[in-house]
Structure 1
Amino acid sequence: MTVALPPTVAAHVPTGLLIGGEWRPAASGGTFEVRDPATTDVLFDVADGAEPDALDALTAAEEAFDEWRTVAPRERAELLRAVFEAITAHGEDIAAVITAEGGKPLAESRAEVAYGADYVRWFSEQAVRFDGLARRAPAGGSHQLVLRRPVGPALLIAPWNFPLAMMARKIAPALAAGCTAVVKPAQLTPLTTSFVAELFREQLAARGLPTGVLNVVPSSSARSISGPLLADPRLRKLSFTGSTEVGAALLKASADQILRTSMELGGNAPFLVFEDADVEAAVQGAVAAKMRNSGQTCVAANRFLVHESVVADFTAGLTEAFRDLVVGHGAEPGVTVGPLIEPSAVDRVEQVVDEAVDAGARVLVGGDRPRRPGYFYSPTVVDRVDPGTRLVSEEIFGPVAPVTTFADEDEAVTMANGTPFGLVAYAYTRDVGRVMRLAERVETGMLGVNRGMVSDASAPFGGVKASGLGREGGEAGLDEYLDPVYVAL
């Protein structure tokens, strides 16, 4: 059996709660298991936080906030830069942890380390660039100042699929703005979050800064953490990445305290291939947009909408590309597709594919579970898909590419917009005029043109409609943690 997590790395993975700068067990003494999804083996037992632990973490964050908010922006910037360098220095170890608990191939885990570290570097640079305003009032007789100050203690809830990157793009802007944080990592992948949180703790302690700035409370019950914290008036900010259903429930729970909220929620990304597209490039982009983390990303291409004149070439190319993918344990050399995260994920993907086939769809490659340990589903291409099936109406979150056709640009836009979601869309075309029309007409927060990836620390990441509120990354990412204060002189 492949050993996904070397003992030298495992020895440095914290498994407790980080509260006030100290790693400790849960108040109840309880733990929960973290498993390798490629083997189903137990990796670690992790402290199982609950309400008392969450409130202790918020107390630590509140106490640290009084000092942290007064720390010079330059000093906060230098802290984040040091954490960026620490993440980079420990990159191989972090990648091993990501692969062990999340299953993605090592090459993808290394890419996540670089991507997540880039958020820390970006916000280290933004920490000294708060915008403000000083001007004479238009009516005369007074002057206007607009200052910006940190919102306050924040609850940051990260998803399982990118345990470093999604955590980094919340923690880094929060700390850069002068906020403190309680982090709730995902139950399925808490180890990466804890490993990197220790790097933050070390750098805070080395500088004599309050270590309660960052607190981490893993738990098998997200509600036992979020419920009491959202009801506590000391909390002033919530940032959540996850499903639209959970996001909606958290928004409702945030209403009583009128919390500032950021929500990066579900998607149903269209991948548009027009008649003038470079089909070979579109196939390569489709593999990148679909298969990162075995399709388990919120920005994964979910519906492949292809002009009827090029659909045969595109589908043949995509089928061949999927057939060449190598399924296996992410730590094995040459593997390009890892497992899904848990058994229920495999069950759901299998169900939606079977339903589509029963409705007349055709499986061109895949459509089954490989005979091996772990939670795997084969890379799958399906065409002749009924648009009413769940395979195209819901987010798949798995390695399945359903292909449908359109006749013209208007139909393509109508199909692309025919969903409650609007996180990201992809388009392959050589027509610059069409690109500008799509930017105006497609209901999405992000548009990738002739490329299968859009994420960048320096750009605003987020969606519209049921895909969320607010933005992470770019200059906008810092705004989420700052309140403007207007002073009339």
Structure 2
Amino acid sequence: MNDVIASIPKRILVDGEWRESADGSTFGVDDPGTEQRLCEVADAQRADAEAAVEAAVSTQESWAATPPRERGEILRRAWELITGRADELARLMTYEMGKSLTESLAEVKYAAEFFRWFSEEAVRIDGRYSRNPAGGGRTLVTKEPVGPSLLITPWNFPLAMGTRKIGPAVAAGCTMIVKPPQLTPLSMLNLAGLLTEAGLPPGVLNVVPSSSATRVVGPVLADARVRKVSFTGSTEVGRTLVEQSAPNLQRMSMELGGNAPFLVFADADLDVAVKGAVTAKMRNNGESCVAANRFLVAESVAEEFARRLTDEMAALKIGHGTEAGVSVGPLVNEGQRRQVAELVDDARDHGARVTTGGESLDGSGFFYRPTVLTDVPPRARILHEEVFGPVAPVTTFAEEDEAVARANDTQYGLVGYLFTRDLDRAVRVGERLRTGMVGVNTGLVSNPAAPFGGVKASGFGREGGAEGIEEYLDTKYLALAVGSS
């Protein structure tokens, strides 16, 4: 562990320089599997955030003028560096976040692919030229970088959420101020070092780790020269950021909370459905905005589905993410574990039956057993709140219309999952679900080549795919008076 941690820059990055915080303060980063301190990181202050804005603003013009091919090659080199150091990056992520080494390696691969994807998108930023319908003039439409951007990343996917935002910003020609999460800042700091090594010029990427998001985000949002904000996190914080951005009318991308329904119809292949359920529920220990949160199963197969899911969840090995064979690590901190336990206890108090799990583990680390609940009544909180942990509440439905209505009965709309052998039903139900994404006979929707994002209280804007770079581009129209003189 010491070798992994020791090589990481643990300071603030401004204009290509790694520096201590303005007042010399630091904050600690802990291993959630042991509750032991990993290291101290420079704790950015308001002055550090303001310096990061100045660096981004002063670099924006020259960075926007950099040829798209050069921007793409930087991302390509960064992809190669991440791929070549996957084991090191995965171990770092496991130590700071808690997920198993297998999951960390999968995230490293996923994260790297955003850089490869957007390295190719950098040279495909296009526009159009056309003759005016009435004749006489011409229309020229171009795309330009929106400008300095504030990127706020979450703790649960500390590398992939960084590359998913940084990749399109670099490709589009935007400079950045990045606020990494307090709980897991090390992966982002390491990524910033890799991008510097890949040739990213000073001032393009500025990183301000801090124990207080308000302290560093506030002055950045208040600066009208910052033209774009991309945030991944809770709906409550997202609403606050949108309100704070209003005076300067900054462009916003919000990837917020979820309450994903997981629909299993009577004709579903239960082997496929149970496998998909474990994937959709247990990825990242359940600490994922796209984790399946409500399992709605047709009455005729519900008992069999619950039995198989219980067997699969009970068989998962729990332990520190670096241990061989472990698939379930700790939750990120005691507060997160306490929230999961409260939701399970509330469901139990309302009559739900625990078929496996339902308890914390004794000893060090923030471990909670993978849990399946059946007979969950509609009033249980867990059906209405994002559990963000390894808990699968199973309920039943009688008809398709009931399943769809209950799936949509939430303020959230990030992702939904449905399992059926009927192609007509798959399309029909998929179109009726009020979500930004739908997994059909799969529990995994994340894909760098596809647009990721939600509707309703799950946010707006898209990351990844051809749509992802558009979030960092402004459209400009030039009216050409051809032949008017």
- 1:192 aligned to 182, 187, 209, which one? 187
Tell me how far apart the structure 2 counterparts of residues 271 and 435 of structure 1 sit (CA, whole Å): 13
- 1:58 aligned to 53, 60, 76, which one? 53
Q: Does structure 1 residue 176 correspond to structure 2 residue 171?
A: yes
- 1:228 aligned to 206, 219, 225, which one? 219
- 1:434 aligned to 394, 416, 425, which one? 425
Q: Does structure 1 residue 487 correspond to structure 2 residue 478?
A: yes
The DSSP-based 3-state class of the residue aligned with 2:124 is coil
Give me the CA root mean square deviation: 0.7
Amino acid at match of 2:365: G
Task: Give the corresponding residue for 1:399.
Answer: 390
The DSSP-based 3-state class of the residue aligned with 1:309 is helix
The alpha carbon displacement at 1:280 in A equals: 1.2
Amino acid at match of 1:284: K
The alpha carbon displacement at 1:370 in A equals: 1.2
Kindly provide the CA deviation profile for residues 372-409 of structure 1, in whole angstroms up to 9, marking residues without a partner as x.
31111110000111122211100000000000000011
Tell me how far apart the structure 1 counterparts of residues 431 and 5 of structure 2 sit (CA, whole Å): 49
Task: Give the corresponding residue for 1:409.
Answer: 400
The DSSP-based 3-state class of the residue aligned with 1:82 is helix
The alpha carbon displacement at 1:63 in A equals: 1.3
Task: Give the corresponding residue for 1:357.
Answer: 348
- 1:79 aligned to 66, 74, 79, which one? 74
Tell me how far apart the structure 1 counterparts of residues 212 and 347 of structure 2 sit (CA, whole Å): 34
Task: Give the corresponding residue for 1:373.
Answer: 364
Task: Give the corresponding residue for 1:339.
Answer: 330
Q: Give the TM-score normalised by the residue count of structure 1.
A: 0.97
1:46-195 equivalent positions in 2, closer than 5 A: 46-195=41-190
The alpha carbon displacement at 1:9 in A equals: 1.9
Q: Give the TM-score normalised by the residue count of structure 2.
A: 0.98
Tell me how far apart the structure 2 counterparts of residues 173 and 94 of structure 1 sit (CA, whole Å): 21
Tell me how far apart the structure 2 counterparts of residues 372 and 454 of structure 1 sit (CA, whole Å): 35
Amino acid at match of 1:29: G
Contact 1:67/1:210 (CA < 8 Å) preserved in 2? no
Kindly provide the CA deviation profile for residues 173-193 of structure 1, in whole angstroms up to 9, marking residues without a partner as x.
001000000100000000000
Task: Give the corresponding residue for 1:463.
Answer: 454
1:297-312 equivalent positions in 2, closer than 5 A: 297-312=288-303
Task: Give the corresponding residue for 2:339.
Answer: 348
Amino acid at match of 2:183: L
The alpha carbon displacement at 1:144 in A equals: 0.5
Q: Does structure 1 residue 20 correspond to structure 2 residue 15?
A: yes
Kindly provide the CA deviation profile for residues 211-240 of structure 1, in whole angstroms up to 9, marking residues without a partner as x.
110010000000111111100111110000
For structure 2, list consecutive stretches of 5 or more residues without a partner in the other structure: 481-485
Tell me how far apart the structure 2 counterparts of residues 429 and 148 of structure 1 sit (CA, whole Å): 42
Amino acid at match of 1:39: T
The DSSP-based 3-state class of the residue aligned with 1:211 is coil
Tell me how far apart the structure 2 counterparts of residues 325 and 214 of structure 1 sit (CA, whole Å): 40
The alpha carbon displacement at 1:439 in A equals: 2.3
Tell me how far apart the structure 2 counterparts of residues 477 and 150 of structure 1 sit (CA, whole Å): 13
- 2:6 aligned to 8, 11, 16, which one? 11
Q: Does structure 1 residue 446 correspond to structure 2 residue 437?
A: yes
Q: Does structure 1 residue 38 correspond to structure 2 residue 1?
A: no
Tell me how far apart the structure 1 counterparts of residues 306 and 430 of structure 2 sit (CA, whole Å): 26
The alpha carbon displacement at 1:165 in A equals: 0.2
The DSSP-based 3-state class of the residue aligned with 1:394 is coil
Kindly provide the CA deviation profile for residues 419-449 of structure 1, in whole angstroms up to 9, marking residues without a partner as x.
0000000000011111111122110000000
Q: Give the percent of matched residue pairs that are identical in Structure 1 and Structure 2.
A: 57
Tell me how far apart the structure 2 counterparts of residues 314 and 107 of structure 1 sit (CA, whole Å): 26
Tell me how far apart the structure 2 counterparts of residues 485 and 12 of structure 1 sit (CA, whole Å): 44
Tell me how far apart the structure 2 counterparts of residues 56 and 422 of structure 1 sit (CA, whole Å): 37
Amino acid at match of 1:435: A
Kindly provide the CA deviation profile for residues 48-80 of structure 1, in whole angstroms up to 9, marking residues without a partner as x.
002100010111111111110000000101111
Tell me how far apart the structure 2 counterparts of residues 223 and 276 of structure 1 sit (CA, whole Å): 50
The DSSP-based 3-state class of the residue aligned with 1:84 is helix
The alpha carbon displacement at 1:411 in A equals: 0.3
Runs of 4+ in 1 over 3 A off after TM superposition: none
- 2:269 aligned to 278, 293, 296, which one? 278
- 1:385 aligned to 376, 381, 393, which one? 376
The DSSP-based 3-state class of the residue aligned with 2:182 is coil
Tell me how far apart the structure 1 counterparts of residues 196 and 24 of structure 2 sit (CA, whole Å): 23
Q: Does structure 1 residue 244 correspond to structure 2 residue 255?
A: no
- 1:478 aligned to 469, 474, 478, which one? 469
The DSSP-based 3-state class of the residue aligned with 2:477 is strand
Q: Does structure 1 residue 253 correspond to structure 2 residue 248?
A: no
The alpha carbon displacement at 1:8 in A equals: 2.3
The DSSP-based 3-state class of the residue aligned with 2:198 is helix
Amino acid at match of 2:338: D
Contact 1:238/1:261 (CA < 8 Å) preserved in 2? yes
Q: Does structure 1 residue 328 correspond to structure 2 residue 323?
A: no
Tell me how far apart the structure 2 counterparts of residues 137 and 306 of structure 1 sit (CA, whole Å): 55
- 2:410 aligned to 413, 416, 419, which one? 419
Tell me how far apart the structure 2 counterparts of residues 152 and 252 of structure 1 sit (CA, whole Å): 20
State the number of aligned residues.
480
Tell me how far apart the structure 1 counterparts of residues 441 and 469 of structure 2 sit (CA, whole Å): 29
